[in-house]
Structure 1
Amino acid sequence: MDQIWTVWWAWIVLGVVLGVIEIIVPGYIFVGFAIGAALTGVLVGLGISAGLPLLMLIFAILSLLAWLAMRRIMGQREGQVKIWERDINDNP
């Protein structure tokens, strides 16, 4: 019997679970991990044979790269507080 981390679909399932968690808890926290897990699953499915430590390193690197790419695509948040200069009820 293979170890669970050597089975490609286990990584894909982990990616889907992390994607669902991202939907429940928005904030682009888990999306990098979800993409990293899915990509690791693809690599394992393509035949990369590695032990758990190397797979975890691959997962960490791919997750970091995915997070950095998403940050670049979606942009940085400069601030969350909106300062209103004018009230909607003020006359022009």
Structure 2
Amino acid sequence: MPLWTQWWVWMSAAVVLATLEVIIPGYIFLGFALGAAVMGLLILIGVSAKGLALTLVIFALLSLASYLVMRKVFGLRNGQVKIWDTDIND
């Protein structure tokens, strides 16, 4: 059985990518970590793709979807600019 069809491989990749996100912050690796975690859950419940190429496409789409959701939730909201009225040196 190929390694990419094992759920624990995807979960391990999710943990590694989440750890990289902690070390190098910026919501770059978090989308990939969530995509890998969802892919691992899909494989765990029995949903599997035929072939490595289709598996990677599904992973890419899951990662993109999670990145877009995070950008919508955590992104900069309009009208949230901090205006300072006083100076710390005053």
TM value normalised by structure 1: 0.82
Corresponding residue for residue 24 of structure 2: 25
Higher Cα Rg: structure 1 or 2?
1
Q: Distance in 2 between matches of 1:3 and 1:85?
A: 61
Give the letter aligned to residue 87 of structure 1: D
Is 1:74 aligned to residue 67 of structure 2?
Answer: no
Is 1:43 aligned to residue 48 of structure 2?
Answer: no
Aligned length: 86
Contact 2:39–2:59 (Cα < 8 Å) also in 1: yes
Local SS of the residue matching 1:26: coil
User: How much is the aligned-residue C-alpha RMSD, in angstroms?
Assistant: 1.9
Give the letter aligned to residue 44 of structure 1: I
Local SS of the residue matching 1:72: helix
Aligned residues: percent identity?
55
* TM-fit CA distance, 1:85: 7.1
* TM-fit CA distance, 1:89: 1.7
Q: Distance in 1 between matches of 2:32 and 2:21?
A: 10
Corresponding residue for residue 52 of structure 2: 52
Map Cα deviations across residues 1-56 of structure 1 (whole Å, 9 max, x no partner).
x1110001100000010000000000110000000000001111111232111110
Please, which runs of 5 or more residues in structure 2 have no aligned partner?
none
Give the letter aligned to residue 54 of structure 1: L
TM value normalised by structure 2: 0.84
